[in-house]
Structure 1
């Protein structure tokens, strides 16, 4: 396996919480990092901090807001210019909201930030990952999962913050299973992780009492990035450090097909096909 010091890893949502902690761990190992966030000030601070603490100067920062599909399209185009992508860590997201909000694209905000933008970024970067194989995608999901009501995905008939969050996280896992199947045989693995429950991050502490440490979640996420096992294991949901069963809807092929079609329709980005990713 290629040592982490010779790999390029993209981490979305890297300026806070779990993403920031993972950036520290990988920077200390000499990994080339492309870190994403939506604050230029926080990004500059993070890069300076990592360089000072680790001496790693192979660090870059990319600015994009996951509430805007145009910004994610532009981010993907920039990232496709990288020499290689060994790991894409889809960590950016939001927690349980107290009131409904819409994205600039007119979609329920949690569904867009926690799922649709990850769908777009992963689909657009799939060819680059295949070209860099062996490579892997790690989706930071959650044990909190709820089935998607395809008749009211945006919850306009009755919004609930818990449902919004849990259905978006299940959608991430459904995407994981579909991408893993589609990219089988290309050298790219795709897996989903619940890193830990109620870590003391800003998306948790406004509503819940922390029950796990950032260190626990970071250990579990780093395992998905670095462990040789996940260079070949693909299409699994991992709860902390063990493979687990996701919500039943994740294994419903009809539901996943509906989600793929809906995602392509809402975003204008087609789900990647094997022929397309091999030839791109």
Structure 2
């Protein structure tokens, strides 16, 4: 029986993944922002709830501390929580730390949460980190890191998700001899979820497809030992922006990430 943390487990892909895993007897740690919806998922899956708002980096760090206080080992971390977009919307939002919201929730929060949970992941024999990314990808603008110019929610979303793919490659290299694997995935395109409905885009692929692709990275034997990869559903592939995996880009992104986390006091 594995101990599995799923962020964003109160709705959409996260909830469906939890419900798919529950019958196999895994110990599920369920994160969500809405305590009421999270309680519903816990009742359906037998999972343990960890409410937190990942738009606050301090709250993200407290979430990790709460998990460390209650558990000695973590076999799988699924960084699924995220903020989507509304097609054509140019309304820029900021996080509790004053950072552009999608940068904060979709990128900085999973980076910080993973860092803070590494002690538990190291206690597992063969731990896995699964970062839910997207086929929507855009290179980061280091001259405008807070995306204060020419902003659209869709662009901000794509920047945050490609940054997560770049970080995945970096972290996989750092943990190469640890037994911990780190991979990123685009589960399926515009699944039947609240996020897709909010975006205004039509549903293109089923939620079941996204769950199956994500679950494969959680516990399938055929990807054991695979690390630093990006998957488009079940297919291992390259991101649409090859420069995102270049040492120069990754180093600049890592330096910016450190500065932002330090400035937020975490």
What TM-score range do you get, normalising by the shorter chain? Answer: over 0.9
Whole-angstrom CA distance in 2 between matches of 1:141 and 1:254: 21
Q: TM-score normalized by structure 1?
A: 0.89
Task: Count residues with an aligned counterpart.
Answer: 257
For residues 222-260 of structure 1, the C-alpha deviation after alignment (integer angstroms, 9 at most, x for no partner) is 111111133201000000111011121221111111111
Whole-angstrom CA distance in 2 between matches of 1:244 and 1:114: 21
Q: 1:261 corresponds to which residue?
A: 255
Structure 1 counterpart of 2:26, from 25, 31, 35: 31
CA contact (8 A) 1:11 1:90 kept: yes
Whole-angstrom CA distance in 2 between matches of 1:133 and 1:173: 24
For residues 54-107 of structure 1, the C-alpha deviation after alignment (integer angstroms, 9 at most, x for no partner) is xxx4x2000110110110010111122312100000000011142211111100
Q: 1:244 corresponds to which residue?
A: 237
Q: 1:84 corresponds to which residue?
A: 73
Query: Which 4+ stretches in 1 moved above 2 angstroms?
Result: none
Mean CA deviation greater in 251-260 or 180-189: 251-260
Q: 1:274 corresponds to which residue?
A: none
CA contact (8 A) 1:135 1:231 kept: no
Q: 1:182 corresponds to which residue?
A: 174
CA contact (8 A) 2:181 2:227 kept: yes
Q: 2:163 corresponds to which residue?
A: 171
CA positional deviation for 1:13: 0.2
Q: 1:278 corresponds to which residue?
A: none
In structure 2, stretches of 5+ residues that fail to align are none
Q: 1:152 corresponds to which residue?
A: 144
Structure 1 counterpart of 2:60, from 72, 79, 88: 72
Structure 2 counterpart of 1:139, from 103, 121, 131: 131
Whole-angstrom CA distance in 2 between matches of 1:120 and 1:90: 11
Alignment of 1:115-130 (within 5 A): 115-130=107-122
Q: 1:277 corresponds to which residue?
A: none
Structure 2 counterpart of 1:218, from 204, 207, 211: 211
In structure 1, stretches of 5+ residues that fail to align are 1-5, 51-56, 270-280
CA positional deviation for 1:218: 0.4
Whole-angstrom CA distance in 1 between matches of 2:78 and 2:6: 5
Whole-angstrom CA distance in 2 between matches of 1:39 and 1:157: 32
CA contact (8 A) 2:132 2:187 kept: yes
Q: 1:208 corresponds to which residue?
A: 201
Instruction: Provide the secondary structure at the position in 2 that maps to 1:119.
Output: helix
